[in-house]
Amino acid sequence: MSQPSGPRSGRPRPGPFSAFLHSFTFAGQGVWHAVRTQRNMRVHVAAAIAAVTAGAVLGISAVQWACVTLAIGMVLVAETFNTVIEAMIDLQTQQFHPLAKIAKDGAAGAVLIASIAAAGVAIAVFLPRLLR
């Protein structure tokens, strides 16, 4: 466990810019946790890599890149929030509760909606180029 920082810890508190940069470390740890522990996150990352590769090979336009990038981001954010919601519920209780089921199912449903929307973007961007 790390030592606390601040006026009572004996260690100087980091400056605001240092603290800002350090916050990226925590964010990266959150992303890495989701990738490392969540099978579906790894599936989404693989799909994102495939989409980026397809975009590069097919030479999609800047607007199409923007659409693909937003779709990828939307799915990864939804999956990360799903992971957070599940962890928060599991922290609260390991027993079945109907509200916990609603929260977990709703978070998973949000990922499903985001994934379907991303598939729609992929069809709109990639299919016409593949059919030529």
Which candidate in 71, 78, 79, 121 is catalytic?
79
Amino acid identity for residue 52 in this structure: V
- Residue 79 bears catalytic tag: yes
Query: Would you tell me how many other CB atoms lie within 10 Å of the CB of residue 129?
Result: 14
Task: List b or e across 17-29, with b for residues whose CB sees 16 or more CB atoms inside 10 angstroms.
Answer: eeeeeeeeeeeee
DSSP letters spanning 74-114: HHHHHHHHHHHHHHHHHHH-SS--HHHHHHHHHHHHHHHHH
Rg (CA), the chain: 20
C-alpha count within 13 angstroms, C-beta hemisphere, residue 123: 6
* Residues annotated as catalytic (active site), given as ranges: 79
